[in-house]
Amino acid sequence: MKPDMSVEIAGIKLRNPVMTASGTFGYGKEFADYMDLEKIGAIITKGLSLRPKAGNPTPRIVETPGGMLNAIGLQNVGIEAFIAEKAPFLRTINTPVIANLYGNTLEEYGELARRLDKVQEVAAVEVNISCPNVKQGGIVFGTDPRAAAEVVAMVREATIKPVIVKLSPNVTDIVVMANACAEAGADALSLINTLTGMAIDLQKRRPVLANVTGGLSGPAIKPVALRMVWQVARAVKLPIIGIGGIMTANDALEFLLAGATAVQIGTANFLDPAAAQTIAMEMERYLADNGIADVKELIGALRY
Amino acid sequence: MQYKAMVISNQEVSSGYYRLRMTAPKELAEAKPGQFVMVRVNNSIDPLLRRPFGIFDVGSFVPEYADVGRQTYLEILYKVVGKGTAMLAALHHGDHLDMLAPLGKGFAPGDAGEEKILVGGGVGLAPLYYLAKELVKNSRVHLFVGGRSREDVLCITEFERLGVETYVATDDGTLGERGLVTEVLEKQLQQGATAKTIFACGPYPMLRAVAAIAGRTRIPCQVSLEAYMACGVGACLGCVMKGRNHTEATPDYRCVCKDGPVFDYQELQWD
Ligand SMILES: Cc1cc2nc3c(=O)[nH]c(=O)nc-3n(C[C@H](O)[C@H](O)[C@H](O)COP(=O)(O)OP(=O)(O)OC[C@H]3O[C@@H](n4cnc5c(N)ncnc54)[C@H](O)[C@@H]3O)c2cc1C
Ligand SMILES: Cc1cc2nc3c(=O)[nH]c(=O)nc-3n(C[C@H](O)[C@H](O)[C@H](O)COP(=O)(O)O)c2cc1C
Ligand code: FES
């Protein structure tokens, strides 16, 4: 018997729990030559802002033990170009597309959600709150529960599409953030975004990244991500999308046990452009091999 | 495309420089000079990311080890500089590598019959050999090659065998003229050498100097750049360079992996 791999997040039906993480999968098309985009659960696009954004100076990326740091600086084509140039390709693919968005002010978040509300090929929005609020002198929405709740309420009001909030791990207590977003009307939570880190070139006595600090991703962050997913899943009723260092089907299944309903594949796409498809396929094989009829049986099924 | 390659040979051609020949699917015979490959050095997460290398050569041969008819091969020429390249240097015949290739945009060869100048610095010479093989079919080709010392000047005989005229410069004068390759190039151009296109690959300061020469002499010039890369397919935006009209308000970043690695020097902002 073929196991049932389907899951549902905030009313969106996914053929399997494997999505691609924002910023690691471009706008989908970049990977079409390497994999079947209709064999994964959903595609999450690069973070979109109201206007095109230049991003940071280079170097922007550096490899670290078991991971990488990036300081891309959210370079993106902007919402208008996304709708005009990127969405038409995504329309041709029978896989839900989730638009990741971020603003520099509360109002920008609202405006983005309003514009995306009318874009048919977007099944849901994922709100990246890990960016500084320029109006309030750069306080990060994602580390202040009250600011985060305001963003979520703003987006909630602006769209009828499901609202997924992507949490930053760079906080003292992620459960406080999760609760604040849940109360403000989030339909689902995704976690984690990258952990702030830094690399230094000893010879040059300089930071490696032009931006000095960057976001750590890859296998190195998986234990932190698993712990946070587990904590949030126990505290909050919303469906959770687990992210962080997933390289294999086993990694993904561990996130389900910790309480995630679905997962996102990020850095692994760089090592293997077919990673998301392979992981989905191998999860299914694991279920078949272990006589598990439905992937949903594994969600939160951690034994103590 | 993504494929598994088998190592055919992996020879040290000069101290710390290796030439790695591996099998390739027949589609790679269509790879253009200047395109590159992303090699997954091993299947573990250490090192994590793929490593980019220019295509040094593509051809075909009849293998002795299996009855499979003609087989396409691809070669890279690399310098051991860190963990990934050290691991590559340890590979032997029969080992396997996961490859993404061919990637990026290659050189535009220009019109047949015109004279061409190639400028290579150190291991930046790599993609110029495959290009030279193409160009010598119907053009006169001059190669200007520079390196720190004589061990850093690679594969000159291979170029000469193609009929390429070579000029060598080393920083310490152990081979060819003492000085920078761009000084030798400039001198030759002043002495009446002509060309309709310059193709350059090497360290950024060398490329900047070549671009300046191209600007002064008004000879069209294409440069092949390097950048730290994660994906190689235009998705991560880690590898960007500033386009000519880039400003903070009107961003114009080009991906080295997707829009390059070869650019017309006039497309870029040189700093
Ligand atoms: C398009 C392109 C073509 C290239 N062609 C060649 C070639 O034909 N022959 C050759 O010897 N080298 C070439 N390089 C450089 C080569 O990719 C690096 O030397 C190699 O990645 C170093 O890996 P490492 O693990 O040994 O070094 P480490 O220093 O340990 O690498 C650490 C990280 O930095 C990156 N890195 C280090 N140096 C460079 C560099 N110069 N350019 C880009 N990334 C770097 C690595 O990929 C890795 O992610 C090319 C680079 C690019 C972008
Ligand atoms: C190069 C790069 C760019 C990213 N860009 C974004 C982005 O635009 N928006 C966002 O919410 N997350 C972004 N992320 C974070 C990832 O979506 C993901 O949360 C993180 O990388 C952890 O997952 P991983 O370890 O599987 O990569 C980016 C990550 C990387 C490596
Ligand atoms: S290496 Fe990822 S965009 Fe060029």
| Residue that terminates a domain, selected from B72, B103, B134 | B103
Q: What is the pTM of this model?
A: 0.96
Question: How does DSSP classify residue A206?
Answer: E
Distance separating the N- and C-terminal Cα atoms of chain B: 34
Note down the domain range covering B240.
228-271
For residue A92, count other CB atoms closer than 10 A to its CB. 10
Check residue A138 and give its pLDDT: 58
Check residue B171 and give its pLDDT: 93
| Residue that terminates a domain, selected from B73, B103, B133 | B103
Check residue A266 and give its pLDDT: 98
Is the domain of B221 the same as that of B235?
no
pLDDT in tens, A230-246: 999 999 999 999 999 99
Check residue B68 and give its pLDDT: 74
Is the domain of B91 the same as that of B6?
yes
Tokens representing B103 are 């990637």
Mean per-residue pLDDT of chain B: 93
Percent of chain B's residues with pLDDT above 70: 99
Catalytic residue among A131, A149, A178, A182: A131
Tokens representing A245 are 């260092």
Choosing from B45, B50, B53 the residue with most ligand 1 atoms within 8 A of its CB, the one to mutate for a pocket test is B53
Residue B33 in any domain: the answer is: yes
Check residue B79 and give its pLDDT: 97
Question: For A104, how many CA atoms within 13 A lie in the half-sphere containing its CB?
Answer: 11
Check residue A134 and give its pLDDT: 62
Check residue B134 and give its pLDDT: 94
pLDDT in tens, B117-169: 999 999 999 999 999 999 999 999 999 999 999 999 999 999 999 999 999 99
- Which ligand 1 atom is nearest residue B55's CA? 8
Check residue A54 and give its pLDDT: 87
- Of A221, A136, A241, whose CA–CA distance to A170 is shortest? A221
Check residue A171 and give its pLDDT: 94
- Of B111, B91, B100, whose CA–CA distance to B3 is shortest? B100
Q: Do A60 and B240 touch (CB under 8 A)?
A: yes
Residue A194 beta carbon below 6 angstroms from any ligand 2 atom: yes
Residue A261 beta carbon below 6 angstroms from any ligand 2 atom: no
> Which residue in chain A has the smallest CA separation from B228?
A61
Q: What stretches in chain A show pLDDT beneath 70?
A: 132-139
Choosing from B226, B236, B262 the residue with most ligand 1 atoms within 8 A of its CB, the one to mutate for a pocket test is B226
| ipTM for the complex shown | 0.93
For the question of residue A181 being annotated catalytic, the response is no
Check residue B194 and give its pLDDT: 75
Note whether A88 contacts B: Cβ–Cβ < 8 A: no
Check residue B97 and give its pLDDT: 97
Q: How far is the CA of A22 from the centre of ligand 2 (A)?
A: 5
**Does residue B6 carry a pLDDT above 90?**
yes
| Residue that terminates a domain, selected from B60, B80, B103 | B103
- Which whole number is the average pLDDT over B11-26? 96
Q: Do A247 and B45 touch (CB under 8 A)?
A: yes
Tokens representing A107 are 């109002």
Check residue A1 and give its pLDDT: 79
Helix or strand (DSSP H, E) at A148: helix A145-158
Residue A24 beta carbon below 6 angstroms from any ligand 2 atom: yes
Residue B74 beta carbon below 6 angstroms from any ligand 1 atom: no
The beta-strand segments (E) located in chain A are 7-9, 12-14, 18-20, 42-44, 61-64, 67-70, 97-101, 122-128, 132-133, 139-140, 163-166, 188-191, 195-198, 200-201, 206-207, 213-217, 240-243, 262-265
Here the CATH number for the domain that contains residue B96 is 2.40.30.10
- Closest-approaching ligand to the CA atom of B254: 3
Number of domains making up chain B: 3
pLDDT in tens, B23-65: 999 999 999 999 999 999 998 999 999 999 999 999 999 887 6
Q: Do B2 and A61 touch (CB under 8 A)?
A: no
Residue B249 in any domain: the answer is: yes
Q: What residue ranges define each of the domains in chain A, with the CATH number in brackets?
A: 7-55+73-198+217-298 (3.20.20.70)
Residue B261 in any domain: the answer is: yes
Q: Do A72 and B237 touch (CB under 8 A)?
A: yes
Contact A159/A153 with Cβ under 8 angstroms?
Answer: no
Residue B69 in any domain: the answer is: yes
Is the domain of B66 the same as that of B133?
no
Question: How does DSSP classify residue A209?
Answer: S
